[in-house]
């Protein structure tokens, strides 16, 4: 099978081809390995190869719902017996576990052919994947940006077309963050839905869950069917779902009550393009018949962040100590940031740790009361677009300044300086929305519905009540049918991995769109058709638009580069830059922007060309 054919199929479809004899598992593996060799020098996502293990699987025979589909597992918490687990750390050297993790055993039982392990930041501690052990993993949508973390290697590999889905886990957003960065679907299951034994009964006090990042909703749904279920000796047991998750993804969800909030829980700015994208998601939900209301649970965002960081510190301290005992590594073999977190963890009292752990119950109860009035909660997945590589790293001067503190073990001194509050702000400013689901144990998903002006993916996060993955998958399937994203892949013009993006919609299809509803969204009146314009990868056309009296501040986002809360006023002209075919742009915009508050565009054919303006007519 050539790569173009391979990429046109998700894991479910590839498994069907193998089952019908139209392609062999060996052919699929060869295609995946060839793709890995082609793109790995640019994305650096798969540091550990497992070709021998994959060949052994083929020789032994395959069965299960994904029999013959190539697959990658994450280099933490998804151990494969006899294969190094490094957790992205130099301190683990070449540690090889003696047995499979339970989740890995279930991956193999599903028939997946595992041929490598994907990169993670050291100990999976960051929302970016730049471990010193392996170097930075790069986002196929823009090689100068991060794919997120901690499942950044998995997301980059899927976005680059190496595999249709890859193993991932989520202890603070590590499935949803990279899914949002790389234009993928990412579902974090409820606490206890997927086992994490036998090496642990729970990971991070139950905050972490395993599943995959995938290009299609149904792949994640079918994978959850394969992974879910009790594990001997596990501390959590959750009621089995009614029916299958694969069936849920094909069902209509009915009319849902959905709360939406774009405000950062930390009170920090959220990128204007991301805010606008969530507003568009709200409009889409309304067009699908759902009730959407601006609301948020009564939870102290800073308090939740501090509770999360207390867990973070304590778990890092315990993990560093365990690795040192296991391998004999010195503390200097860990990265400076990891050593600092471990020092803080050793400095927190057991009483403080337990007190903050008890706070989780308060947050879960508050969220539970919130879900008495709503079926789902919509927020951005991220507060910013994917960050440039290295931009969020600890500055060199701070690393030098930390030297004496680490050497003298002055963790209690650091805590007295108020560093926890500062770390809560600095470490979570770009990812403040995801930790709520982890601490409350609820399921959550990131859905790739929008792209920025820079052609970077933007994720919409939905959180559901505990145990309601079925509801999330029903809505995800509906959204996927309404706004398909499967064929939207990185392309040459996006400084990505070099594949042409062949899925653009023609502007002339806009003429068939229905005009936006006259009703006002609880969030925004942004015309939904503008989204189609932004998705079209054509030449840039500059369109001069005058803000009308009927509009509100920000109605042009994300298309208006000048749209700021304090800038647009009635009568002010702003330049919209959108991807458009030269001859069709004026007519397309006129049809797309049905808002009577705008002054009309001139209908002169050919008035718009790349980097030219069409003037406003009276």
Closest-CA residue to 154 (of 100, 95, 52, 223):
223
- Whether 455 is a known active-site residue: answer no
- Active-site pick, 89, 119, 174, 452: 174
**Which two structure tokens, joined as six digits, stand for 614?**
């069409």
| 8 Å CB contact between 178 and 446 | no
**Which two structure tokens, joined as six digits, stand for 263?**
């405000």
Q: Rounded to whole angstroms, how far apart are CA atoms 437 and 453?
A: 29
Which residues is 188 bridged to in the sheet?
444
**Which two structure tokens, joined as six digits, stand for 277?**
């994208």
DSSP string, 531-544: HHHHH--S-EEEEE
| 8 Å CB contact between 552 and 538 | no
Q: Is 152 helix (H, G, I), strand (E, B) or coil?
A: helix
Residue 25: how many CA atoms within 13 Å on its side-chain side? 24
CA distances (Å), origin 24, targets 16, 61, 63, 174, 302: 11, 12, 13, 33, 53
Query: Under 8 Å CB-to-CB from 520, ≥6 apart: which residues?
Result: none
Q: Rounded to whole angstroms, how far apart are CA atoms 9 and 27?
A: 14
- What per-residue string of b and e applies to 351-386 under the rule 16 or more CB within 10 Å gives b? eebeebeebbebbbebbeebbeebbbbbbbbbbbbb
- Angle at CA 316, nearest 5°, toward 310 and 321? 135
Radius of gyration of the chain (CA): 24
DSSP string, 370-414: HTTT-SEEEEES-SSSPPBTTTTSPPHHHHHHHHHHHHHT-HHHH
Q: Rounded to whole angstroms, how far apart are CA atoms 457 and 332?
A: 37
The set of long-range contacts for 31-37, using a CB threshold of 8 Å and a minimum separation of 24, is 31/1, 31/2, 31/3, 31/6, 31/70, 32/6, 32/70, 32/115, 32/162, 32/163, 33/70, 33/115, 34/3, 35/3, 35/6, 35/160, 35/161, 35/162, 36/115, 36/116, 36/157, 36/162
CA distances (Å), origin 488, targets 106, 193, 254, 455, 538: 30, 31, 27, 11, 14
- Active-site pick, 150, 214, 216, 455: 150
- Whether 150 is a known active-site residue: answer yes
- CA 348 to chain centroid: 31
**Residue holding tokens 């930790």?**
435
Residues annotated as catalytic are: 74, 150, 174
């Amino acid at each position: 099978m050539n790569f173009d054919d391979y990429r046109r199929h998700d894991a479910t479809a590839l498994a069907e081809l193998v089952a019908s004899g139209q392609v062999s598992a060996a052919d699929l593996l060869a295609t995946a390995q060839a793709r890995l060799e082609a793109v790995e020098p640019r994305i650096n996502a798969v540091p550990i190869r497992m070709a021998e293990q994959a060949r052994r699987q083929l020789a032994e025979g395959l069965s299960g719902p994904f029999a013959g589909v190539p697959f990658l597992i994450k280099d933490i918490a998804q151990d494969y017996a006899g294969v190094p687990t490094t957790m992205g750390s130099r301190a683990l050297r070449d540690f090889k576990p003696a047995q499979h993790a339970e989740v890995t055993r279930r991956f193999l039982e599903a028939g997946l052919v595992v041929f490598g392990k994907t990169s993670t930041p050291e100990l999976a501690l960051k929302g970016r994947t730049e471990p010193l052990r392996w170097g930075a993993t790069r986002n196929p949508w823009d090689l100068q940006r991060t794919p997120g973390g901690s499942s950044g290697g998995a997301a980059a590999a899927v976005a680059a077309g190496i595999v249709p889905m890859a193993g991932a886990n989520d202890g603070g957003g590590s499935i949803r963050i990279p899914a949002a960065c790389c234009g993928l679907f990412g579902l974090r299951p409820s606490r206890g839905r997927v086992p994490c034994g036998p090496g642990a009964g729970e990971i991070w006090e139950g905050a972490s869950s395993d599943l995959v990042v995938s290009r299609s909703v149904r792949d994640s749904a079918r994978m959850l069917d394969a992974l879910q279920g009790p594990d001997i000796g596990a501390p959590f047991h959750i009621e089995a779902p009614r029916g299958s998750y694969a069936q849920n993804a094909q069902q209509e969800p009915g009319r849902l009550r959905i709360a939406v909030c774009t405000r950062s829980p930390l009170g920090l700015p959220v990128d204007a393009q991301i805010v606008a994208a969530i507003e568009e998601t709200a409009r889409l939900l309304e067009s699908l018949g759902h009730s959407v209301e601006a609301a948020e649970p009564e939870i102290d965002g800073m308090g939740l962040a501090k509770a999360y960081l207390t867990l973070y510190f304590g778990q890092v301290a315990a993990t560093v100590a365990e690795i040192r005992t296991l391998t004999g590594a010195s503390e200097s073999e860990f990265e400076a940031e990891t050593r600092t977190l471990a020092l803080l963890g050793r400095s927190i009292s057991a009483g403080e740790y337990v007190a903050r752990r008890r706070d989780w119950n308060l947050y879960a109860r508050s969220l539970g009361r919130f879900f008495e009035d709503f079926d789902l909660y919509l927020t951005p997945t991220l507060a910013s677009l994917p960050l440039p590589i290295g931009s969020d790293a600890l500055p060199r001067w701070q690393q030098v300044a930390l030297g004496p503190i680490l050497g003298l073990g002055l963790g209690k001194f650091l805590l007295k300086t108020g560093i926890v509050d500062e770390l809560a702000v600095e470490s979570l400013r770009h990812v403040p929305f995801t930790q709520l689901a982890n601490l409350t144990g609820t399921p959550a998903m990131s859905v790739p519905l929008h792209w920025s002006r820079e052609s970077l993916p933007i994720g919409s996060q939905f959180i559901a009540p505990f145990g309601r993955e079925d509801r999330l998958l029903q809505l995800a399937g509906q959204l996927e049918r309404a706004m398909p994203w499967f064929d939207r892949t990185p392309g040459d013009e996006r400084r990505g991995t070099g594949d042409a993006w062949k899925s653009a919609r023609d502007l002339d299809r806009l003429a068939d769109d229905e005009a936006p509803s006259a009703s006002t969204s609880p969030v925004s009146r942004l015309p939904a058709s503008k989204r189609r314009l932004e998705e079209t990868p054509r030449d840039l056309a500059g369109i001069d638009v005058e803000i009308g009296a009927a509009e509100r501040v920000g109605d042009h986002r994300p298309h208006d580069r000048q749209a700021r809360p304090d800038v647009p006023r009635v009568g002010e002209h702003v330049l919209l830059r959108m991807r458009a075919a030269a001859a069709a742009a004026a007519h397309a915009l006129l049809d797309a922007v049905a808002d009577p508050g705008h002054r009309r565009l001139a209908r002169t054919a050919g008035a718009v060309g790349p980097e030219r303006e069409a003037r406003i007519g009276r």
